[in-house]
Chains A and B, each alone.
Chain A
């Protein structure tokens, strides 16, 4: 009997020690993780808009985040957008509620600071204060509107879609006519060397410059990537492409409406990215138009 008590005590102490150690590490790393993630996303967004170390973003550039929520009010479903707005005392946030057909219903002013607005939890609390009735709401996604001063210049749309192995997280940049400005794969678990090549410039840059009408019906073709096109894709964004301006223009014109060339040995991953980008762009274009109309209809003083 003493044996059992001894064993139990020993195991309990070890478990407690292990738990404490893990707990401390968790507390210590959780903050750093959040910060790093935030920093990564920020960098990706600037890179997609064409800013980087060599070309710093101008101070007038503002990235406005719009958070979309699905609001359930009884058995009725509504859409809620949390948007940055102008207020008497500076800038703040408002919650715009639309019905499923995109008609403006109401808007609430939110009591939340810009720092708090970055955190999912704080946003939830602020929304709880406004939507008092037993309304349920659920966060769906965030889209980013880039403005230069008061003028809208681009959209950044993060998204997630199933790849060959697991989900692929990506972000696309669109201009105001929904022409694709850039694609970045943020997270993926495709096979290295095969599907993993979706992160390579020569694949990603094929999407760049595709107009919205082409994007809508984009598919992949199982053909080898033409050599001149590959050279152009790899050199995109760098200074020394080795191609003359006329050649570049010709290549751009020739391939602008072409489908995406699939990666060797990874057609499924290539098609997954293509379909994902297509769906992300189409859904975003649909939503932003509705949101713009609703914001106009409700006279919400939005910042974008």
Chain B
């Protein structure tokens, strides 16, 4: 793949929709199922991933000319692990309660396939600016997915939104159960697929 020709806006939109990390690329599914029980959790992990993605992308695209091809992957891992440690320490110090609620998922960002994959297919071939916007797009795409799942699960499961009571009762406790995460992700993916097929059919008919 050669350097990208897309504009910065296109890069961001690409991350949000066409290549949404959760629903389209089906990467980093663990947090999508695991801690999307509340909007706040999803938002916070989204911020952490955004941070790690943007900083790692920038770092790699800065030093891409100096990376020896044989140690490409170790370098990626090292970069990601460094930034994950940084955000982990910062969150633990300044947002201890929310940090605890996410358990080990913040530290597990290090194993999220989405970040390594973006470094491999994008950051190591593009300029710092393009990588920055791609990181932003992917980060927000992930956050969007997490918040979408979190909204459904929190409202249906607990009757609240961001901790505020909106319904006054708890419609379906089922949605806060771990298993509901799987169902919901599957359902959302199907919706994305459906929209895509309809869109493609229209495009074909139009041409």
- Chains A and B come from one and the same complex: yes
Name the B residues within 8 Å of A37 (CB-CB): 96
Name the B residues within 8 Å of A40 (CB-CB): 96-97
Provide the B79-98 mask, 1 if CB < 8 A to any CB of A, else 0.
10110011001101110110
A32 within 8 A of B: yes
Rounded to whole Å, the gap between the CB of B32 and the closest CB of chain A is 15
Q: Given A7-B68, A21-B86, A189-B103, decide whether A264 and B75 contact each other with a Cβ distance below 8 A.
A: no
Name the A residues within 8 Å of B100 (CB-CB): 187-189
Q: Which one of B134-142, B172-180, B188-196 is at the A interface?
A: B172-180
Rounded to whole Å, the gap between the CB of B74 and the closest CB of chain A is 7
Per DSSP, chain B at the interface is helix
A264 touching B90, Cβ below 8 Å: no
Name the B residues within 8 Å of A32 (CB-CB): 93-94
**Residue in chain B with minimal CB distance to A22:** B85
B173 touching A33, Cβ below 8 Å: no
Provide the B194-206 mask, 1 if CB < 8 A to any CB of A, else 0.
0000000000000
Number of interface residues of A (CB under 8 A): 29
List residues of B (71-119) whose CB comes within 8 Å of A's CBs.
71, 74-75, 78-79, 81-82, 85-86, 89-90, 92-94, 96-97, 100-101, 103
Name the B residues within 8 Å of A192 (CB-CB): 35, 37-38, 41, 101, 176
A7 touching B89, Cβ below 8 Å: no
List residues of A (11-44) whose CB comes within 8 Å of B's CBs.
11, 14-15, 18, 21-22, 25-26, 29-30, 32-33, 36-37, 40
Rounded to whole Å, the gap between the CB of A36 and the closest CB of chain B is 6
Rounded to whole Å, the gap between the CB of A194 and the closest CB of chain B is 6
Provide the A244-265 mask, 1 if CB < 8 A to any CB of B, else 0.
0000000000000000000011
A193 touching B37, Cβ below 8 Å: yes
Interface hub of A10, A37, A187 (most chain B Cβ within 10 A):
A10
B71 touching A11, Cβ below 8 Å: yes
Bound CA–CA A196/B38 (angstroms): 12
Name the B residues within 8 Å of A3 (CB-CB): 68, 70
B82 touching A193, Cβ below 8 Å: no
Provide the A186-210 mask, 1 if CB < 8 A to any CB of B, else 0.
0111011110100000000000000
**Residue in chain B with minimal CB distance to A197:** B158
Q: Categorize the interface residue count of chain B.
A: 20 to 34
Rounded to whole Å, the gap between the CB of A22 and the closest CB of chain B is 5
B157 within 8 A of A: yes
Name the B residues within 8 Å of A18 (CB-CB): 78-79, 81-82
A264 touching B173, Cβ below 8 Å: yes
Bound CA–CA A21/B96 (angstroms): 22
B6 within 8 A of A: no
Which of A10, A191, A196 contacts B71, CB < 8 Å?
Answer: A10
B157 touching A33, Cβ below 8 Å: no
Name the B residues within 8 Å of A264 (CB-CB): 173
A193 touching B157, Cβ below 8 Å: yes
Name the B residues within 8 Å of A21 (CB-CB): 82, 86
Rounded to whole Å, the gap between the CB of A11 and the closest CB of chain B is 6
Rounded to whole Å, the gap between the CB of A168 and the closest CB of chain B is 11
B89 touching A29, Cβ below 8 Å: yes
A55 within 8 A of B: no
Rounded to whole Å, the gap between the CB of B95 and the closest CB of chain A is 9
**Residue in chain A with minimal CB distance to B180:** A193
Bound CA–CA A3/B93 (angstroms): 42
Residues of B within 8 A of A (CB): 35, 37-38, 41, 66-68, 70-71, 74-75, 78-79, 81-82, 85-86, 89-90, 92-94, 96-97, 100-101, 103, 157-158, 173, 176-178
Q: Which 4 pairs between the two chains have the least Cβ-Cβ distance?
A: A193-B176, A33-B93, A29-B93, A18-B82
- Supply 23 A–B pairs (Cβ within 8 Å), ascending by A: A6-B68, A7-B68, A10-B67, A10-B68, A10-B75, A11-B75, A15-B78, A21-B86, A22-B85, A22-B89, A29-B89, A29-B93, A36-B93, A37-B96, A189-B100, A189-B101, A191-B176, A193-B38, A193-B158, A193-B176, A194-B176, A264-B173, A265-B173
10 new A-B contacts, CB < 8 A, other than A10-B68, A193-B176, A194-B176, are: A14-B75, A15-B78, A18-B78, A18-B82, A21-B82, A25-B89, A29-B93, A33-B96, A187-B100, A193-B158
